[in-house]
């Protein structure tokens, strides 16, 4: 359970919408490249209609701050089947990194706990959907106008303290100060456009889901699990 899991959801009924060309994409999509089960009609680069507009607002504020910069989308809508696939993948990868072979015991439990700080459980309960499955959450970074991502002091999806938004705050060396300033700029333009940031991830922002409601003090979330219209038409 997350701190936001108890917040009720009253879905507003907005459809998913493909991201417009004005929003850059980091392709090939990383999870599709791993074989995540999106299905033949699954498009990860889509979000709820209202969320897309807020994302465009954030980019406009970024461009006004520095015309050389753009938002670059790493991941957006994520079906629950993909969430489950990526949780399993992340646990297996971290086990390999730490030399954990048995899928039981303290070391394995610690891997699961560490992954769980960053990856929401693939809950099928309509009261507790993973943020990305709602079409209200987006993972993104800053890039130059030609799409070249800027260094942010840590990779998207990295498991560990390096991913926390304030990890480089107060550091004295110039490189760390640069990374902190870039993370702050991303948070500022997204926040000004109404988004809420995940407390553990510099790259993850939500608008309208339970995480957003929790951080904004809203009584309800307005986005439940989203259904891909391409799969139901």
151 in Cβ contact with 196 (< 8 Å): no
Q: What helix, strand, coil percent values describe the chain, rounded to 5? A: 40, 15, 50
Dihedral angle at the C-alpha atoms of 129, 131, 135, 138, nearest 10 degrees? -170
Q: How many helices (H) and strands (E) does the chain have?
A: 7, 7
Extract long-range pairs of 31-35: CB within 8 Å, 24+ residues apart: 31/75, 31/78, 31/82, 31/85, 31/86, 34/85, 34/86, 34/89, 35/85
What distance in Å separates the CA atoms of residue 74 and residue 141, rounded to the nearest whole number?
7
Catalytic residue list contains 27? no
Of 101, 155, 201, 225, catalytic: 201
Q: Hey, which residues are catalytic here?
A: 201
């Amino acid at each position: 359970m997350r701190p936001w899991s108890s917040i009720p959801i009253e879905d507003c009924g907005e459809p998913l919408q493909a991201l417009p060309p004005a929003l850059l994409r980091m392709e090939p999509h990383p999870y599709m490249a791993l074989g995540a089960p999106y299905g033949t009609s699954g498009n990860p680069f889509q979000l709820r209609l209202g969320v897309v507009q807020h994302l465009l607002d954030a980019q406009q504020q970024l461009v006004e701050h520095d015309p050389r910069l753009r938002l670059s989308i790493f991941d957006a809508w994520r079906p629950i089947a993909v969430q489950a696939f990526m949780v399993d993948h992340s646990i297996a990868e971290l086990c390999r990194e730490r030399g954990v072979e048995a899928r039981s015991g303290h070391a394995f439990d610690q891997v699961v706990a560490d992954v769980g700080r960053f990856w929401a459980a693939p809950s099928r309960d309509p009261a507790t959907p993973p943020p990305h499955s709602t079409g209200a959450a987006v993972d993104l970074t800053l890039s130059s106008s030609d799409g070249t991502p800027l260094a942010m002091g840590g990779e998207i999806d990295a498991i560990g303290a390096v991913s926390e938004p304030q990890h480089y705050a107060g550091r004295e060396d110039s490189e760390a100060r640069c990374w902190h300033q870039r993370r702050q700029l991303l948070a500022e333009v997204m926040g000004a456009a109404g988004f809420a940031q995940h407390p553990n991830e510099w790259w993850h922002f939500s608008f309208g889901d339970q995480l957003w409601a929790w951080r904004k003090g809203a009584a309800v979330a307005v986005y439940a699990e989203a259904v891909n219209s391409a799969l139901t038409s």
